[in-house]
Structure 1
Amino acid sequence: MTIESTAPETGAISRVTLADVAARAGVSASTASLAFSGSGPVSDATKERVLAAAAELGYAGPDPRARSLRRGRSGIVGVVLEERVRAAFLDPVKIQTLDGLTEGIAPLGAGLLLFTDSGDPAAPVSLDTAPVDAVVLIGCSPKFFRQVEALQRRGIPMVAIEGAPGGGIPEITIDNREATRLGAEHLRSLGHTDVVTVTLPFEPGRTRGPLTPEIEAAATVDTAVERLRGARDVYPGLRAQVAAASSIEEGLEAGRAVLADAATRPTAIIAQSDLLAAGVIRAAEELGLSVPGDVSVIGFDGIRVDGLQHDLTTLVQPSVAKGRAAGEAVVRMLSGEPAAGTDFTSTLHVGDTTARPRA
């Protein structure tokens, strides 16, 4: 790295280099470099002399970009989010997963670069151009397979959280189908026979409304598909209402659609996320319905939803552990070691939002 400064006598620009610092400190350029990096056999006195010389000359240190080129690494791990950053940071599951991921990649000393699910290769920073060492994909994204293809073209190592990329790519999974089946069995044990599920998006268009065969056939979101299958294992003919995102607002919209008509109103709703479940509960309250008296509601995630005045019945997933496992897999891959996927199990938490249906 060079620092430009203006000589007061002439107004000309001079460049302060590491060699200038070494000359001022009376050491070799290699010794000065080691003093800055802290990675070599340099005495404390020599290091202090080099840093003092740098301060006198206004030299901030070697350019980290040059260091990255020498290592062949950018020091950046990409993370693909399925929505805008603001929406992602309103989702406790995403925050917990990112916390775990940060812990997992700590040995790399790397930073995280967040990508939104725009799918625009012409964007200033995209999966097609960004200088990343590896990428973690969130499989809930409807554009999951496009992202996988873009990274495979570039030869970028990747790890998938809840996706099925194939090709030996490590996958961090949870038991979406089995866990949802467990929740549905809980409802059946209470006596519910008329059940509806409110789902996550199925395809890139994020079509909202009743689930149709066409939407299901176009599905690219493994999480939504597996959770639907788990509910159908217990209720083969259950109806499904598709939300456009995992959010309270989308749950409210879906809940209104499902609960508005008393003639078709179910006695229980299986929501594919806790945020959707919170929205469904709000819709029920708008309509003057009691939860769980008039309608039972079950979610998925095990998060705390601000403003929800219920202890939600839900499937609790280990979000932090999922992120940490993905980060650890990235570390192994970048170290040249084999990285296998990890399977996690969810647990049923029975709260106060499920009860026996009214007689």
Structure 2
Amino acid sequence: MSNRFDGGVHTAGTLAVASNTRTPSRPAARPASRRPRARARRTRPPVAPSDRATPGAPTRRCTLSTQRPTLADVAAAAKVSVSTASLAFSGAGPIAAATRQRVLDAATELDYSGPNPLGRQLRQGRSGIVGVVVGDALRRSFRDPVSVQVLDGLVGTIGPLGLGVLLIPGADELTAATVDPLVESAAMDVAVLLWGGTTDDPVLASLRRRGIPTVLVEGKQFTDMATVGIDDRGGVATATRHLLELGHTRIATVTLPFNRERREGVADEERMTALDWEITSRRLAGITDAGVTPVAVYETPASLVEHGADAGRALLSAPDRPTAIVCQSDLLAGGVVLAARELGLRVPEDVSVLGFDGLDLPWLAPDVLTTVAQPLAEKGAAVAHAVEDLLAGEMPPYRELPVSLRIGTTTGPVPA
């Protein structure tokens, strides 16, 4: 989103007038013998009977000005002070019911719709806006049901609080600006950073510099920022143990991005040192917590089905292919299942596939994904409550939502 005008010059309220550089000649003098014509007398049009004022009826005030009526106009019409008229609209403070009604009647008569909300926000020192930095390009974020469901839970909870949401995309490519201009300049009361990202995220530095209260979603915990997370590390550890119980030892993993570079392919030891995104790091740690060292780590640039399919083709085409693959999202896992079918492999007889998120993927039928389910809408609501606390001047405690392993049809015993 952007508040800039592109592709033209905005010239509101201006008028270009062409002028002649020559000095105009004086008009010819009027002949003395010629007398000016008498001006025609203007007559007012007759007033229709329906337009005549009815005795005892309220007089409708009219004005030649096209300006919007003000609160002062309403107060004058109702014969009250401006502060009393303001109380009538706000519904706060001591004011008699008859006085309030008189003010509202005057407002109706003047076609006054109420105080300017922008002015009220400015007087309160607030914009009424929550800036949500999604951490990725919007075209990818809106293809991910995880982002959509979390945003739905967030917006559905803060809406009744009278707050609006400004969506701010993350950096799209390496050549793009590291921090969107809206992060630096947009009016917002609280910022929400989805998918916490790195510990030294430049977006966080910008928000700190502006002094904007911030909620991190699944990021590192800071003393000056609110954080809402899930037990994804514990959930992945539980899921990996499930595979061990089925007899699997050759376990590979398909991950979310390592960093802003968003590379794709099997990560070697050197590449592993570049891992600095919190979510990816925690979910990889869950596998090692279960006592497993992955036979291969495949990094993807985003949580999309096509990237999971690419990873599946690469991992399952190898002569020493894994017998199980742990994926850091359900969309990646769904892509791996599609790749296995394409290669003629049976799931789970030939390879077990495990996801993370708990999404409903009807297009994967007849398979039902084994996954670590997280409460997506509840997470969005928890973020909204953290926003509410920050607006009240309170720093909410860290809140971690639980996850659970949901067994489907895509995991089974190790192939004989």
- Structure 2 length as normaliser, TM-score? 0.77
Which residue of structure 2 aligns with residue 38 of structure 1? 91
Stretch of structure 1 that moved more, 199-208 or 95-104: 95-104
Aligned to 1:4: none
Gaps of 5+ in 2: 1-61
What's the counterpart of residue 19 of structure 1? 72
> Following superposition of structure 1 onto structure 2, how do residues 131-170 of structure 1 map, counting pairs within 5 Å?
131-139=187-195, 141=197, 145-170=201-226
Does 1:235 pair with 2:302? no
Taking a change above 3 Å as real, the CA distance of residues 224 and 122 of structure 1, as seen in their structure-2 partners, is: closer
- Residue 286 of structure 2 aligns to a residue whose secondary structure is helix
Q: 1:98 aligns with which of 151, 156, 180?
A: 151
Report the Cα offset of residue 211 of structure 1.
1.4
* C-alpha separation in 1, matches of 2:395 and 2:69: 44
Match of 1:64 among 110, 113, 117: 117
Alignment partners' CA distance in 2, 1:28 and 1:194: 80
SS at match of 2:377: helix
- Number of the residue aligned with 1:5: none
Shift of 1:239: 0.8
Any conservation in 2 of the 1:107–1:331 contact (CA below 8 Å)?
Answer: no
**Superposed displacement of residue 67, structure 1:** 0.9
**1:82 counterpart (114, 135, 144):** 135
Which letter maps to 1:246? S
Partner of 1:285: helix, strand, or coil? helix
Q: CA shift at 1:312, angstroms?
A: 0.9
Name the structure 2 match of 1:297.
353
2: CA distance between counterparts of 1:15 and 1:313? 61
SS of residue matched to 1:30: helix
Q: Do 1:194 and 1:267's aligned partners in 2 also have CA atoms closer than 8 Å? A: yes
RMSD: 2.5
Residue among 381, 402, 410 paired with 1:345: 402
How far residue 81 of structure 1 moved from its aligned partner, in angstroms, is: 0.7
User: Structure 1: any 5+ residue segments left out of the alignment?
Assistant: 1-8
Max radius of gyration: which structure? 2
Matches within 5 A, 1:127-206: 127-139=183-195, 141=197, 145-206=201-262
Separation in structure 2 between the aligned mates of residue 219 and residue 47 of structure 1, nearest angstrom:
63
Q: Which deviates more from structure 2 when the two are superposed, residues 349-358 or residues 85-94?
A: 85-94
Shift of 1:299: 0.3
* 2:21 aligned residue: none
Secondary structure, aligned partner of 1:61: coil
> In 2, are the aligned partners of 1:142 and 1:202 still within 8 Å (CA)?
no
Shift in Å at residue 10 of structure 1? 11
Distance 1:332 1:14, change over 3 A: closer
Q: 1:255 maps to what in 2?
A: 312
Kept in 2, the 8 Å contact 1:202–1:224? The answer is: yes
Deviation at 1:180, TM superposition (A): 0.9
Displacement after TM superposition at 1:210 (Å): 1.0
Q: Which amino acid aligns with 2:239?
A: G
- Paired with 1:333 and 1:347, the residues of 2 have a C-alpha distance of 29
Question: How many pairs align?
Answer: 349
Shift of 1:28: 2.3
The 1:352/1:27 distance shift into structure 2, 3 A limit, reads: same
**Percentage identity across aligned positions?**
45
1:82 touches 1:142 (CA, 8 Å); kept in 2? no
Amino acid at match of 2:383: A
Q: TM-score, with normalisation over the residues of structure 1?
A: 0.88
**CA offsets per residue over residues 128-182 of structure 1, 9 Å max, x none?**
1111111121235469711111111111111111111524422222222221111
SS at match of 2:75: helix
In the alignment, residue 129 of structure 1 is paired with which amino acid? S
Q: Is the 8 A contact 1:80 1:138 kept in 2?
A: yes
Q: 1:60 to 1:252 in 2, by over 3 A?
A: same
- Identify the structure with bigger relative contact order (alpha carbons < 8 Å, sequence gap 6+): 1
2:340, 2:178 → 1: CA distance? 42
Q: Which has the higher strand share?
A: 1
